[in-house]
Chain A
Amino acid sequence: MARYLLGGTAPDEPELRNGCYVLPTVVRVRDNNSRVCHEEVFGPFVTVTTFATEQEALDIANSTEYGLGGGLWTNDLSRAHRVASNIRSGMVWINSYKRVSPNSPFGGTGKSGYGREMGFEAIREYTEAKSIWVNVDAKLPPWYPREKTGN
């Protein structure tokens, strides 16, 4: 049975009683197989797991079917870039989180979808390339050579 320290519930304050409030909730899970480590809750609800090695961290990070954003905090320059390159997601933030700019592509992989918003990537998404060929001065021999009939 789990030790239940503090409740992830609605707040007690009477003035918030009729609202859709949920307290900030932090859950230490038993292990990474928990449903709440894989399903999107979309609320103020964060799970906590621990790891010993960089590879374990990556295994946990990449264990969901989603691949939208991810982040890492370290002062080791090499590790920062190495882990960023190995996280399976459309965006990675190093020593930061949730930075977004119109200049930088945004989107996911896996069950987070496909396509990119923002940056010039977005223009590709909203246009179609049309290739137009012009014979300016090409000297092409006929593909079906025939004797001239004289007319």
Chain B
Amino acid sequence: MQNQLFINGEFVDAVGGNRLPVFNPHDGSVITEIAEGRQADIDLAVAAAKAAFPKWRATPAAERGRLLLKLADALESNLEEFAQLESLNTGHPIKDSRFLDVPRTAACFRYFGGMADKIQGDVMPVETGFLNYVVREPLGVVGAIVPWNFPLMFCSWKMGPALAAGNTCVLKPSELTPLTSLRLAELMREIGFPAGVVNIVPGFGNTAGERLASHDDVAKIAFTGSTVTGRKVVEYSAGNLKRVQLELGGKGANIVFNDANIDAAVNGSAFAIFHNQGQACIAGSRLILQEGIAEEFVNKFVKLAKSIKLGNPLDATTEMGPLTSAMHRDRVLDYVKIAISEGGEILAGRNSA
């Protein structure tokens, strides 16, 4: 299992020698210890990405695309290994990892691999005698900060378009879920991505993340995570006015009208909130039901919710795994208390009060 930082094509220990444990949320056991990147490690990774940028940018777009397509194929060839590792570290049911996380990651790299040599420019109709053409140029070093809820898939959402367009990357996975991104780095090196084009530095937000978001040599920061942290990313980015992209929290409305197909709505709405244990920014976390069907809907929905099989994520019959960290579980349970204190009525959960 890969447990070092990936900088400039090499797996290395952290400059300060820091290490951190990575937990299995199913039983709280330690899976492994990994090197913990901090400011000095981010600096090295950004320097490597900066040095690699001119050559990567000049690499024919079709060649950049070919590497991404190879990566998609390699992920599919190693699907079971990636699925197991993702489930072990995040608690995703193995069914989800096999059918959603890994295939979606491969599909995303493939899509942007195909797009790399189709990023066209424009010719603008300006005054006679002038030719005005517009080209789309890469930005330079892209910093990506990805969360713990879909750690593998979000690597592809950030690095797919960034690399296709000719940027180089420094990606910081969450300290909770670094394992699949480090394995991905290994695969990318095998496939032939040049040293420095991709760097993976797991660490904490308030050390590694802050350094990446505030670094003067980073041209853009792409962040997925909480709204609170997103606001900090905006502040850290102000120094060099880097571009910022934020994919933050959500509170998805899910409206069911009287004339809906109720059975389909019940099943789809359960997927909307319970897939990935509800740890999704796009989760349908608010059921908004029209009065005519509310009672029937709630009865069917609660019945389905109670039948969802919780268990070890590595068991193929498990439909819901653990949340990804103990701290987060406690936070969710605190919201149950808040709901009750506000007069809410808890309709599902298997334990009778």
Q: Name the residue among B250, B253, B326 with the largest chain A CB count within 10 angstroms.
A: B253
18 A-B residue pairings within 8 Å (CB atoms): A6-B353, A24-B305, A35-B338, A40-B249, A40-B251, A68-B248, A71-B268, A73-B260, A97-B269, A98-B283, A102-B160, A113-B223, A123-B164, A126-B139, A128-B137, A130-B134, A132-B134, A139-B129
- Which residues of chain A from 23 to 40 have any CB-CB distance to chain B below 8 Å in the complex? 23-30, 34-40
- A16–B311 touching, CB < 8 Å: yes
B37 on the A face (CB < 8 A): no
Q: Name the residue among A50, A66, A101, A139 with the largest chain B CB count within 10 angstroms.
A: A50
Given A43-B332, A129-B136, A18 and B129 touching (CB < 8 A)?
A: no
Given A49-B287, A103-B111, A98 and B271 touching (CB < 8 A)?
A: yes
Residue of A18, A64, A95, A114 near B246 (CB, 8 A) is A114
Using Cβ atoms and an 8 Å threshold, which residues of chain A touch B108? 102, 118
- Which residues of chain A from 1 to 60 have any CB-CB distance to chain B below 8 Å in the complex? 1-13, 15-16, 18-30, 34-52, 54, 57, 60
Using Cβ atoms and an 8 Å threshold, which residues of chain A touch B277? 22, 43-44
Give 4 new A-B contacts, CB below 8 A, not counting A73-B255, A108-B250, A127-B138: A61-B286, A69-B282, A129-B134, A135-B130
A144 on the B face (CB < 8 A): no
Given A23-B310, A95-B264, A48 and B298 touching (CB < 8 A)?
A: yes
- A26–B346 touching, CB < 8 Å: yes
Complex Cα–Cα for A46 and B294 (A)? 14
Complex Cα–Cα for A73 and B245 (A)? 31
B157 on the A face (CB < 8 A): yes
Distance in Å from the Cβ of B120 to the closest Cβ of chain A?
10
- A8–B328 touching, CB < 8 Å: no
Complex Cα–Cα for A98 and B281 (A)? 10
B77 on the A face (CB < 8 A): no
Distance in Å from the Cβ of B273 to the closest Cβ of chain A?
4
- B346–A8 touching, CB < 8 Å: yes
Interface of A is mostly: loop
Spot the interface stretch: B25-33, B43-51, B186-194.
B25-33
Distance in Å from the Cβ of A6 to the closest Cβ of chain B?
5
Complex Cα–Cα for A18 and B289 (A)? 36
Using Cβ atoms and an 8 Å threshold, which residues of chain B touch A25? 336, 346, 348-349
Chain B contributes a number of interface residues (CB within 8 A of A) equal to 125
- A74–B257 touching, CB < 8 Å: yes
Distance in Å from the Cβ of B271 to the closest Cβ of chain A?
6
- B27–A28 touching, CB < 8 Å: no
Distance in Å from the Cβ of A89 to the closest Cβ of chain B?
8
Using Cβ atoms and an 8 Å threshold, which residues of chain B touch A135? 129-130
- B131–A134 touching, CB < 8 Å: yes
Complex Cα–Cα for A57 and B129 (A)? 57
- Which residues of chain A from 88 to 122 have any CB-CB distance to chain B below 8 Å in the complex? 89, 91, 95-98, 100-103, 106-108, 111-115, 117-118, 120, 122
By beta carbon, the residue of chain A nearest B233 is A113
Distance in Å from the Cβ of B181 to the closest Cβ of chain A?
17
- A43–B279 touching, CB < 8 Å: yes
Residue of B162, B253, B350 near A126 (CB, 8 A) is B162
By beta carbon, the residue of chain B nearest A1 is B343
- Which residues of chain B from 124 to 167 have any CB-CB distance to chain A below 8 Å in the complex? 124, 126-139, 142, 149, 157-158, 160-162, 164-165, 167
By beta carbon, the residue of chain B nearest A67 is B250
- A72–B257 touching, CB < 8 Å: yes
Distance in Å from the Cβ of A74 to the closest Cβ of chain B?
4
Given A46-B287, A47-B285, A120 and B320 touching (CB < 8 A)?
A: no
Using Cβ atoms and an 8 Å threshold, which residues of chain B touch A16? 26, 310-311, 322
